[in-house]
Amino acid sequence: MAESLPPASHDGDRRGQRGRRHANADPDRAARKGQSGPAAGAKSRDGKANGAASRKNGKDLPERRNGEATRASNPAPSKQAPASRQAYAAIDLGTNNCRLLIARAQGENFMVIDAFSRVVRLGEGLAQSGRLSDEAMERALGALKVCSQKLRRRNVHLARSVATEACRRASNGQAFIDRVREETGIVLDVISAQEEARLAVLGCHVLLERGEGPAMIFDIGGGSTELVLIETGDVVPRILDWQSVPWGVVSLTESYPAAEGEDDEQRLARYREMRRRVADSFRQFSRRLEPFRNLPRAEEDDGPRLLGTSGTVTTLASVHLGLEQYDRQAVDGLIVPSLAMRDIAASLSRMSFAEREDLPCIGRERAELVVAGCAILETILDLWPATKLGVADRGIREGILRSLMGGTHAHSRPLSPREKPL
């Protein structure tokens, strides 16, 4: 049965429906803008931009309730801060990255006041061992300690911290969650794939173009990929169907590692095998989508709408614009022809690691994983043949913030002294 997300103000978002930008409208202008953007790297992908907050009505998908939201127990002033000055925080510990956003409500929107992102590769080696390695856990703990310090400095009023596929799959995932709580005071909620999909949609659906018929939103993560089919006839999107598969950029890369001295034919064969594996995982979902793909459309209709939120789509969009440095302002909300994204994906898949590393918006940090992301993206474009792809540099964290500020979280509770951020 279709269910509704909390509503969001399309007009309130600075990159809402009226502000949609097409990549082929003036790429030179966007590229010039990118020259003066923040330095490339993980932190530059967390520019302090406004997001949209939701109202209270609407019905959420079923979600995990335990530990969903916590009252931050930072030293409190004698009087509670006005609602407009209260800070909210969202932490997303994924298979590849640890990300934090801290924001204040601003009408129906929010203003980011602090952000943090670090590549931690928590899921490194998980596909082979079924466990989180000691090195990966140390990297994640280091990043979470930074997050804990920021929560304390910003006097956060309400926070939610989530962990996704790596902690869902790992046999020692719960032991790691306990250790995080002990060492940082952060209580991580290991959310389901369904809740992960819901939050991603809640965080970025305002960037969809207006149009008829259902739209698809996808999130390519480190350890999994979520696809969500939604209906957008009103400001409240309804989730019609969804699917999660255990293939993200880390898990797929580790399952199909590059051979030393790999030639062009071997690279092509490995890429094709990646695509085949992902397509097999989506086969049942593809059959369920058949009625929606064949809906009659008006002549002026541009066809199925598609929006992606992930490092893969923002990276490929940056390559498309020819940016020397990553620029969130140029990328978030961009509309790119699907054929252009396919061409870039195919080109990257044929390159060696060194050639990809030399590209300004990829670098060493993304050179290894981007090919797996391209394989997943091309498979999604086969599944949902949209002529244009919307690009979102927002997702789970923004969904969490909108949920907290809109009062759609289940409940909150004060932290005990043992849970206080360091």
Over residues 273-331, the pLDDT tens digits come to 999 999 999 999 999 999 998 776 655 567 789 999 999 999 999 999 999 999 999 99
The pLDDT value recorded for residue 109 is: 85
Euclidean distance between the first and the last CA atom of the chain, given in angstroms as a whole number: 44
Same domain, residue pair 90 and 216: no
Higher pLDDT residue, 173 or 418?
173
Task: Report the candidate in 238, 335, 408 with the shortest Cα–Cα distance to residue 15.
Answer: 335
Confidence of residue 107 (pLDDT cuts 50, 70, 90): confident
Q: Indicate the pTM of the whole model.
A: 0.78
Give the Cα separation of 256 and 239 in Å (integer).
33
Tell me whether residue 218 is in a domain. yes
Q: Which amino acid, 291?
A: P
Tell me whether residue 95 is in a domain. yes
Tell me whether residue 62 is in a domain. yes
CB 82 within 8 A of CB 151: no
**Domains in the chain, number:** 2
Tell me whether residue 347 is in a domain. yes
Return left, alpha or beta for 315; rule: phi > 0 is left, psi -120 to 50 is alpha, else beta: alpha
Residue tagged 């062009």 (tokens):
264
Tell me whether residue 200 is in a domain. no
Same domain, residue pair 371 and 226: yes
Give the Cα separation of 90 and 92 in Å (integer).
7
CATH for 361: 3.30.420.150
- For the CA atoms of 305, 310, 316, 317, the dihedral, rounded to the nearest 10 degrees, stands at 60
Same domain, residue pair 190 and 84: yes
Distances (CA, A) of 160 to 66, 315, 397, 405: 11, 27, 9, 11
Tell me whether residue 27 is in a domain. no
Same domain, residue pair 155 and 259: no
The pLDDT value recorded for residue 108 is: 79
CB 336 within 8 A of CB 381: no
Same domain, residue pair 222 and 135: no
Q: Coil, helix or strand for 54?
A: strand
DSSP letter for each residue of 276-341:
HHHHHHTHHHHHHHHHHHT----TT----EEEEESHHHHHHHHHHHT-SS--HHHHTTEEEEHHHH
The pLDDT value recorded for residue 351 is: 95
The rounded percent of the chain whose pLDDT value lies above 70 is 74
Mean pLDDT of 135-141: 98
Same domain, residue pair 235 and 383: yes
136-167 residues labelled b (16+ CB within 10 A) or e (exposed):
bbebbbebbbebbebbbebbbbbbbbbbbbbb
Here the tokens at position 346 are: 């195919």
Average confidence score pLDDT of the chain = 81
Which residue range forms the structural domain that includes residue 248?
A: 207-395
CATH for 140: 3.30.420.40
The pLDDT value recorded for residue 247 is: 97
Same domain, residue pair 97 and 225: no
Give the Cα separation of 229 and 227 in Å (integer).
7
Same domain, residue pair 321 and 251: yes
Give the Cα separation of 309 and 147 in Å (integer).
22
Tell me whether residue 36 is in a domain. no
Same domain, residue pair 267 and 168: no
CA angle 322, 323, 327 (to 5 degrees): 145
Same domain, residue pair 309 and 402: no
Same domain, residue pair 132 and 166: yes
Tell me whether residue 12 is in a domain. no
Same domain, residue pair 232 and 256: yes
